[in-house]
């Protein structure tokens, strides 16, 4: 194998490595963003505390007073 062939193979390997890392971190960041985005907002009718819960529950108990509240709809 001559020097130019080895250089081309090395460059392709480095490019594939960077492409793989870019795809991995892009997918990871997208999954983290989607997880953070999928929260429902609640406001307690009893103590006026504003809080969020993961997922899409229709009701959730207030962390301050324990009162069950419906999800806010905008």
Residue 14: give the domain boundaries.
1-37
- My answer on whether 50 and 69 are in the same domain is yes
- My answer on whether 32 and 64 are in the same domain is no
Count up the domains in the chain and report the number: 2
On the CB side of 36, how many CA atoms lie within 13 Å of its CA? 6
- My answer on whether 27 and 50 are in the same domain is no
- 5-64 pLDDT per residue, tens: 999 999 999 999 999 999 999 999 999 998 878 888 899 999 999 998 887 788 889 999
**pTM for the full predicted model:** 0.53
Cα 44 from Cα 50, distance rounded (Å): 7
């Amino acid at each position: 194998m001559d020097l130019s062939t080895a250089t081309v193979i090395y460059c392709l390997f480095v490019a594939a490595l960077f492409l793989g890392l870019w795809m991995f971190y892009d997918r990871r960041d997208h999954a983290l963003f989607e997880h953070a985005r999928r929260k429902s907002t609640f406001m307690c009718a009893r103590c006026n505390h504003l809080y969020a819960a993961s997922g899409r529950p229709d009701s959730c108990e207030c962390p301050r007073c324990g009162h069950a509240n419906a999800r806010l709809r905008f």
